[in-house]
Structure 1
Amino acid sequence: MGIISIKSTDNLFWLGRYVERVFTTLKMFTKCYDVLIDVDETAYVDFLKKLGLPNTYRYKSDFITNFLFDEGNPNSVLSTLLCAYDNAVVMRNELSSETMSYIQLAVNAMQRGKESGAPMLKLQEVFDCIFAFWGSADDYVESETTRNILKFGRSVERLDLYTRFSQPAPLVRKEFSILLNRLYKVGVACNLSAVDTLMKIILEKDDLEADKATIQNELARLFVTTPPEYYA
């Protein structure tokens, strides 16, 4: 692929983030769904709060349908998946048609789910497509740099969501170690002060709950697509 432009790096990074956002959000959604159906019809309120999203839904069925499938809602899962698709289209030559096709298949599954009487079954198809996307990226994306940027974006998003949903500190620490390893391989500018702050919190503390907001803010500052001098 040669030298990757700032724009292409940005597209790849956000493709990785959006794909992971769909995947992990759906994982957490399925847990919330079980609680909604069996225990507490208002459980979606706390779910949205963890994501930092406003509660614009009237009741649980409104939330289930529109949070998943409303293309007019920029925070819906389908809208996020379409953002991933838009970035994939721009980078289709680098990704390969095989790899990009799994994003299209995931979009198709979500759109069919909107019309389905059993939408949760379609979510499994989305999971399968995302697994296949990452497997195909390893097999068909020739550029190691391209793969590393994609996976760097995945790790950033995964850490953000793991923190929001209070996942165990060892799991967060493991993913952060993966991110650091990827960061050294990816060869793009990053905010070193953000890296330092994240290391001090994630690698040195066993309880991350009090630092959730700081972790999320530093992750948002981590990736630099403008020249590093901007952060001097």
Structure 2
Amino acid sequence: MRHLRGLLALTLSTCLAMPALAEGDMGHDFQATLGYGRITANELVYSGAGDERLSHLIWEANTPVATLNARFDLGNAWVLSGQAIFSVNGRADMTDFDWLAPFAKGTSDHQWTDRSRHPDSQLDHYLDLELAAGRDFDLNEATRVNLHGGLKYTWVEWHARGGSYIYSENGFRDARGSFPDGEVGISYKQQRRTVFAGARSFGNKGTGGCRACSGLA
């Protein structure tokens, strides 16, 4: 019996960001940022114990991204913080690679048996919510660090439309064609909940710094 296992890895990189609103005092900070980001998702399907790759879908979108950050001082160095990142209706591109019997001779990138390209795809929704509680610690006069833990929720939905394909029907990569323009061929939606812990350093006179996190889905 064949068992399938799916894996989706999401990355977001912001190419350009501009603070739209910032407010702060001794009790709280709030910041809203508008930017332009690149969202990439790798959707993988394996069989058996997970060492045989059957399918790899690569989703990419370049889209405006809005980010909201809030930080509240609860007293005694305890802090409650939250972040929301979202984007809608972004232009996207998707490529689908498959390694299917009986023509698959291996599972390396160049040995695919079927490939379809969908440059007229769409990122319908991207939402990333994060809520954390932690405590600040002074390392020295110039630096403090916040140790925290919390919950993270991610929701993403894509649609691939139109495009072209190369399939292995009666022989290796013997069939070529295209899909009708605007026709939805592949849709994908994922909602993911994660528990995480992390650390973030700050300058005592500002909010800059670096952050490292680890999470468990």
TM-score if structure 1 supplies the norm length?
0.22
Task: Name the one with the larger helix percent.
Answer: 1
TM-score if structure 2 supplies the norm length?
0.23
Which structure has more relative contact order (CA 8 Å, sep 6+)? It is 1
